[in-house]
Amino acid sequence: MANTRTQIAAALFQPVPGGYVYREPYRWPFGQAPHYLVNDEQKAALLAIIVPKRPVLWQVVLWSALCLMVAVACVGLCLYTGHDTPRALDTLDMVVLTVAQVIVAIAILFWWKRRKVRPLLATLTPTDLRITRGEMRASVTNAMSSKQLVITGVCNVIASAAMLVNAALQFAWGKPAGLLWLVGTCMFGGLAWYYFKQLVSRAEMP
């Protein structure tokens, strides 16, 4: 079963004659990420910085931080508005506040990671070769085992179903917040479809 290191390496490093093309990951999605040519030793040094030493603990910390951000947005807005039951505008404000906190947290994380990797990047050779986001997604999927594809797909199905139930309840109570849950339903449903599609394609390969 592919581990976190293998999946990250598959996404960020593309084999080329004499080494690899490396895509610097700590950039915003709307900008151009720098690319470099690296050898095996440089690849190992980069992965030592990029890959969390305890991937499971790292994911627990990330999800816990997200839950804390949601809680801060909810409690803070309730104290500010004084509403016992969130209204439609309150729900939208909670989403905006949560997204704002996530953006700030990501900016700080990227700054910290870039600071750690900057001395090594200064020794690398820039290149015009590019790794697209589609290639990154395909590489990560190919690095996943069939079991991982099934687990990931099932988790997304469960998340999509839970959000669909919440959307139905919100609409039944006459609350427009159900639209937000419906968006989440479509998002996780799309992810589930993608992973199961990859699983079927792999099964059909000779």
The DSSP code sequence of 109-149 is HHHHHHHHHHHHHTTSEE-S----HHHHHHHHHHHS-HHHH
Q: What's the total number of domains in the chain?
A: 2
Whether 138 maps to a domain, the answer reads: no
Q: Which residues pair with 38 in a beta bridge?
A: 20
Q: Which of 108, 131, 154 is the last residue of a domain?
A: 131
Reported as a single tens digit per residue, the pLDDT across 15-72 is 999 899 999 998 877 778 899 999 999 999 999 999 888 877 887 888 788 888 878 8
Shared-domain flag, residues 114 and 38? yes
Closest CA to 156 of 183, 130, 191: 191
Q: What is the pTM of this model?
A: 0.76
CA 59 → CA 10, 89, 152, distances in Å? 19, 31, 15
Chain mean pLDDT for the chain: 86
104 and 176 together in one domain: no
Structural domain of 124? 1-131
| 150 and 123 fall within a common domain | no
Give the mean pLDDT of 120-140: 91
The token pair at 22 is 């490396």
- Within its chain, how far is the Cα of 128 from the centroid? 26
Distance CA 91, CA 77 (A): 9
Residue 72 confidence (pLDDT): 83
Residue 123 lies in a domain: yes
Based on the fold, state whether residues 55 and 151 are members of the same structural domain.
no
What pLDDT, on the 0 to 100 scale, is given for residue 194?
Answer: 92
